[in-house]
Structure 1
Amino acid sequence: MASTNKTNQLYDQVTTLVDQSLAAVLRKHSTANANQDLESAFANARSLLEKMRDQTNEDIRELRELSEWDTFTIAFYGETNAGKSTLIETLRILLGDSDKLATQQQFRDLTKDLGLDSESIASLELSIQNLQAQLAESQQHVDLLTRQLASEEQQQAASIEMLRIAIEHKRKQLNFWHKLMHVFRKMDEEKALSERELALVQLKAGNQARLEVIAAEPRKLHAELAAKTGEKANVESAFARLVPLQDGSIIGNGRSDFTLQSHSYQFVVGGQQFQLVDVPGIEGDEKQVMSSIDSSVKKAHAVFYVTRNATPPGSGSDGQEGTIDKIKRQLGKQTEVWAIFNKSATNPQVLQGQPLTNQNDAIGLADMDKSLIGSLGADTYRGHICVSAMPAFLAAATCLVPNNPHLRSREKFLASMGRDEILQRSGIQTFIHFLRSDLCQNFKIKIRDANLKKIRSCLQDGISHLNQARDNFANAAQKLDAQQKSASAQIDGLLSGTSQKLKSECHDELSVKKSAMRMAIYDFIESDQSNDDFKEYLTGEIEALKTSVGRELEARFARVFKSFTDEAEAIINKNQKNVSEILHYTIDDQFSSLNLSFNTDFKMDNGINVVSLISTLGGAAALVWASFLTSNPVGWTAAAVIGAVGLVFSFYKAVRGFFSSSYKKEQQRKSADENIEKIFEKMTEMLDGNLDSASAKINEALLLTKNQMRIPYEQSLNTKIALEEIALKMTTLRDKLVATPAAAATASAPSQSAATV
């Protein structure tokens, strides 16, 4: 109970630290982000982190349920028909598995009770075969005699029929006298007919008697055969009770669905407690056996990859996962993986040579070692071991029913060499020594280190996913930063160009108004008006500017602003598209390649609201334009302009003009020019000031827009930082779960021909 509590505390500690680390990161970033948009964006990162935490905790929970802390567990893993069950069955017999010993004793006791032995069963089979042959021969004799007697009877009957025909013909030839005489005396032929008919009756009776005597023999043989067949059925029924108890009942028949569930076999040898797990074959789509395979390898502290091929495990093709891919995925978290090359041997000659493997096998096994080291790492993959499991099983098996196909193979091998020699040459004795003296040594330390590695691997999976996600967001942030700066520069350039264009348009409009006003006043002067009328007219024209120039300037402003908003919208739409593509290719697609066991639905805002932007810009521009057009104190009027400028008139010149009309007109034109120039100069000054104010207002709105466009960058950067922090905390936790230094004494491979490290 104390050991169980201690291990549960370890898993609780890991889960608690993962939860606390995530909570600390989320709390820090939640309080740091005052910006509502960024806080909303961080909610996506929070969702991602929580999913990764839940996945890690789920993996830890599964390890808690599956991990074995008391019994050293060794899994036999490989493809169907690799010989895993054969090897385990042989070890059960030779190592004295308690369940196997009990089953063997049941087999012997039942065999004794049933009185079954090879000689009696063979004698029974021979008797049945002899009776079947005798019955066939006797029946054939009966059939032949029956046909012969029937032929004789048919011949006699035919002769009688011919005689009848002759008698009938002779009767027709008799005259009246002879017919009268025939009434009193039979013809000789009629006398002969009666004799022959009697003889036929006697012949049939005799034949029937002979057939009954002869048919008695097949009936007797058939009864004897039925008795022997019934006896055989009883024997077969007894076999049915013996078959589950015989050696080798766990050995498959080559079907991929023979072993669908893992089976564990317990051993206690020399005080060392361990168990062997027979894992279902890994070929095919594994749908039926995936759960059993996963739970078995997660429980195991050491794994034997069993194969019949002295070649590297196959790679996948056309999207199908290959054997080497499955090994990497399913065994990558183990601390100790060995390969067992199970040499096929259906003939004793295979065991005659030394070593067990030939030169071609050695080359292929060296390539296999390189492949498995490349997939699992040199710290996990320890080397290969060579055995020939079937000959070893045949030599070890003692409980086989007489009709077992292994029995004939066993006799063939034992006729060639002794039991102990087969066990030695097959490599099984060396393998058993390796199990007992090397692999299971320090098994308590190995159990702890293996389970700790699985926890570390669990954490490492989460760390790897976090780091990959971090890199994705860092890459996205870099690209989004460049994209935002580019879009901001385009908007700044657009605003600068628009300000210049707007000023140019407004100046053009004032120039047009100025020329038109000058022409109108000159026309009025040419009508030879008095100075008072001229002054009144000039003042009226200036007052009229308020309506006319405002309407025209507003039209020009609207055209320029429409062009500006269209171009700004195009820049922002393009930015949104680019941001969406960056997020898709650097985050969405990359998340799909992480092969996470949960679905990610990470979403991120890709920019700003175009309608909101245009509305903001329009509001800022309208505010400035309204202040320019209205007659409020901060606006302008003709009187204000005139008051600020002052009209230029000369009384002396006015008197002189009374006598000279041409001189008066000249002076009026001069006065008009001076006043128009000063008025439009003041209007231009006020207009430029208002345009600068408008640009400042629009720039203020655009600054908000540019800040909004930076939100995706801020989202990515904050998410990257959050992922980085939780990964660092999980790394610190992982590094605390270290193996025991005493475990440095690792197992070494069996020597000579049985293994190669």
Structure 2
Amino acid sequence: LFQTCATGKAAAPQTGDPGSPGTLEKIREHLGDQTEVWSIFNKRITNPMQLQKPELLTDGEKESLRVLDATMNKHLGNQYQGCISLSAQPAFLVSADCLVPMSDLEGNRSKFLKKMSTQDVLSRSGITQFVRWLTQTMVSDSEKRIRAANIKKVTTKVHNAAQALLTEQRNVLEPLCEDIQEDWTKVRSQLELDVGTFERHVATIGQSEIQNIEIALRQTMYEHINKGIDNKDVQPRFEQILASESKLLEKRVHEKMTRKIDDFIATISERLQRFTERVDELQHVNHGMNSTPLGNNLKFDFKFSNGINYFGLVSSLAGGVLMLWNPAGWVVLGIGAVTAAVSLGKAVWGLFDKDFKKSEQRKAVNKNLNLLNKSLNAEFKKASATAVKGITQKTEQLRTEVEISVEQTKIISIELKHVAMRLQHLSQSIK
């Protein structure tokens, strides 16, 4: 339960230099939680006259021992109990029975015994009091001391655990949470830009393909007009070509939209993958740079695998969007708004002037093509707005789910700090 620190001078053991521990550091390193430390000042006395003084210690030695006690308390805390002063040499001489005849030890023994009795020497040297302390005081309150030592051990363990958790929270978890939050803020901004880019690509696809069908229809109808076509055949031929081109339009838009959606999903998935890899990297860096008393016994693992399928959410973006590009979708609605009633007034005059008839036929075709262009663009904008809205909602749902995981890292950090504080309070309340 206790260790002694014996010294022949009234001074504290030396402290060490950085990288080279001194006596005090070595003592502290080897102390158990239940250990009590006492200093024993063994005063060197060779002359009986020194024992005949009223007190064993001089005023200077007492002051030096007060400094020693203060220093030991500073380095060892409550485990340091105080200093015991004695002089072992005179006590040994008067107690020894088998000294070598005619030796210096025997001569010194005789000098002490000529001046005082054995009991006086033992008492004045402090040995009698020391033996009484060892055999009576230490034993009489042993139960109390053992209980106090056990409480000290428990409180030390709890206190150390609290400090280790606080260190882990402060040096590892808190910086990790800040880094994750900073990275996620960047990723979230990139996701918003990705949605905006997708919206622009969708608009470009619609405008481009609608323009293509207009060009194809005009080119084909002009060819028929140039070859010569009756007025009554213009509308059926226009509708026939429109039906054929509309199927190609649906197919091309569907294919391009599918590729854009696949690209969008791949981009989002890649961003999330890089983010999760970055989280792993941050954990490794923080654990490597900030060693704590817990060492490798406590590690935080933010894999974001709490039942949320982020990549499944990304993939689900495709389904609702592709439903918009079907035969009963926006193309049909756009064509339905065009009567394709090619108005061919002045037909009688056209019987006498073929160039005039062709000019009127082209005007009728262009009029309907303009109407078709406006109608298809209007329906495409409605459909694309629905698609982009679905993408935005799904992406927002994805961001929300990831932010829940990011927020959980903060909650863990806060809870760990609270646990450490409760342990600290517990260590102070144990009595």
TM-score by length of 2: 0.76
Q: Which among 390, 397, 400 is matched to residue 697 of structure 1?
A: 390
- In 2: Cα distance, 1:360 partner to 1:690 partner: 98
Q: Which amino acid aligns with 1:628?
A: L
Number of the residue aligned with 2:361? 668
- In 2: Cα distance, 1:608 partner to 1:489 partner: 23
Q: Which among 484, 495, 500 is matched to residue 184 of structure 2?
A: 484
Q: Which amino acid aligns with 1:531?
A: N
- Report the CA distance between 1:683 and its aligned residue: 1.8
Number of the residue aligned with 2:326? 630
Q: Which among 648, 654, 659 is matched to residue 352 of structure 2?
A: 659
SS in 2 for 1:652: coil
- In 2: Cα distance, 1:524 partner to 1:423 partner: 137
- In 1: Cα distance, 2:47 partner to 2:294 partner: 50
Number of the residue aligned with 2:46? 348
- In 2: Cα distance, 1:672 partner to 1:601 partner: 77
2:430 maps to 1:737: yes
Q: Is residue 331–residue 376 contact of structure 1 (8 Å, CA) maintained in 2?
A: no
SS in 2 for 1:306: strand
Q: Which among 497, 518, 522 is matched to residue 222 of structure 2?
A: 522
Number of the residue aligned with 1:463? 162
Q: Which amino acid aligns with 2:202?
A: L
CA 541–384 in structure 1, closer or farther in 2 if over 3 Å, else same:
farther
2:109 maps to 1:414: yes
- In 2: Cα distance, 1:523 partner to 1:608 partner: 62
Number of the residue aligned with 1:29? none
CA 652–457 in structure 1, closer or farther in 2 if over 3 Å, else same:
same
SS in 1 for 2:337: helix
- In 2: Cα distance, 1:370 partner to 1:667 partner: 114
Number of the residue aligned with 1:504? 204
CA offsets, 1:263-290, max 9 Å, x none?
Answer: xxxxxxxxxxxxxxxxxxxxxxxxxxxx
2:305 maps to 1:604: no
Number of the residue aligned with 2:277? 577
- In 1: Cα distance, 2:99 partner to 2:106 partner: 13
Q: Which among 310, 335, 341 is matched to residue 642 of structure 1?
A: 335
Q: Is residue 100–residue 106 contact of structure 2 (8 Å, CA) maintained in 1?
A: no
SS in 1 for 2:210: helix
- In 2: Cα distance, 1:593 partner to 1:326 partner: 21
Bigger CA radius of gyration: 1
2:262 maps to 1:567: no
- Report the CA distance between 1:724 and its aligned residue: 4.9
Q: Is residue 38–residue 80 contact of structure 2 (8 Å, CA) maintained in 1?
A: yes
- Report the CA distance between 1:524 and its aligned residue: 3.1
Number of the residue aligned with 2:92? 394
CA 323–516 in structure 1, closer or farther in 2 if over 3 Å, else same:
farther
CA 645–513 in structure 1, closer or farther in 2 if over 3 Å, else same:
closer
Q: Is residue 268–residue 314 contact of structure 2 (8 Å, CA) maintained in 1?
A: no
CA 685–452 in structure 1, closer or farther in 2 if over 3 Å, else same:
same
CA offsets, 1:498-524, max 9 Å, x none?
Answer: 222332243233334433433333333
- In 1: Cα distance, 2:311 partner to 2:416 partner: 36
2:187 maps to 1:453: no
- In 1: Cα distance, 2:169 partner to 2:48 partner: 57
- In 2: Cα distance, 1:565 partner to 1:396 partner: 96
- Report the CA distance between 1:679 and its aligned residue: 1.6
CA 650–713 in structure 1, closer or farther in 2 if over 3 Å, else same:
closer
- Report the CA distance between 1:652 and its aligned residue: 2.9
Q: Is residue 372–residue 381 contact of structure 1 (8 Å, CA) maintained in 2?
A: yes
SS in 1 for 2:6: strand
- In 2: Cα distance, 1:546 partner to 1:516 partner: 11
**Deviates further, 438-447 or 330-339:** 438-447
CA offsets, 1:671-703, max 9 Å, x none?
Answer: 222211222222222222332333333334434
Number of the residue aligned with 1:374? 74
| Structure-to-structure mapping, 1:272-351, within 5 angstroms | 304-307=4-7, 310-315=11-16, 323-331=23-31, 333=33, 337-342=37-42, 348=46
Q: Which amino acid aligns with 2:385?
A: D
Q: Which amino acid aligns with 1:530?
A: D
CA 430–544 in structure 1, closer or farther in 2 if over 3 Å, else same:
same
SS in 1 for 2:318: helix
Number of the residue aligned with 1:153? none
| Structure-to-structure mapping, 1:11-160, within 5 angstroms | 75=2, 77=3
CA 479–387 in structure 1, closer or farther in 2 if over 3 Å, else same:
farther
- Report the CA distance between 1:593 and its aligned residue: 1.8
CA 525–387 in structure 1, closer or farther in 2 if over 3 Å, else same:
farther
Q: Is residue 222–residue 362 contact of structure 2 (8 Å, CA) maintained in 1?
A: yes
- In 2: Cα distance, 1:374 partner to 1:520 partner: 100
Number of residues paired by the alignment? 421
- Report the CA distance between 1:733 and its aligned residue: 4.4
2:330 maps to 1:593: no
Q: Which amino acid aligns with 2:324?
A: F
Q: Is residue 501–residue 560 contact of structure 1 (8 Å, CA) maintained in 2?
A: yes
2:394 maps to 1:709: no
Q: Is residue 180–residue 406 contact of structure 2 (8 Å, CA) maintained in 1?
A: yes
Q: Is residue 86–residue 126 contact of structure 2 (8 Å, CA) maintained in 1?
A: yes
Q: Which amino acid aligns with 1:397?
A: S
SS in 2 for 1:702: helix
- Report the CA distance between 1:474 and its aligned residue: 4.5
SS in 2 for 1:668: helix
Q: Percent identity?
A: 21
CA 629–388 in structure 1, closer or farther in 2 if over 3 Å, else same:
same
CA 505–433 in structure 1, closer or farther in 2 if over 3 Å, else same:
same
- In 1: Cα distance, 2:13 partner to 2:73 partner: 11
* Root mean square deviation of aligned Cα: 4.4
- In 2: Cα distance, 1:308 partner to 1:348 partner: 14
- In 1: Cα distance, 2:326 partner to 2:7 partner: 93
Q: Is residue 588–residue 602 contact of structure 1 (8 Å, CA) maintained in 2?
A: no
- Report the CA distance between 1:488 and its aligned residue: 1.9
2:351 maps to 1:682: no
- Report the CA distance between 1:559 and its aligned residue: 4.9
- In 2: Cα distance, 1:549 partner to 1:425 partner: 116
Q: Which amino acid aligns with 1:649?
A: V
CA offsets, 1:609-639, max 9 Å, x none?
Answer: 9xx65564344325422x233224xx1455x
Point out where structure 2 has 5 or more consecutive residues left out of the alignment: none
Q: Which amino acid aligns with 1:533?
A: D
Q: Is residue 344–residue 360 contact of structure 2 (8 Å, CA) maintained in 1?
A: no
2:245 maps to 1:545: yes
CA 357–646 in structure 1, closer or farther in 2 if over 3 Å, else same:
farther
SS in 2 for 1:629: coil
- Report the CA distance between 1:349 and its aligned residue: 7.0
Q: Which amino acid aligns with 1:394?
A: F
SS in 1 for 2:39: strand
TM-score by length of 1: 0.47
**Deviates further, 671-680 or 695-704:** 695-704
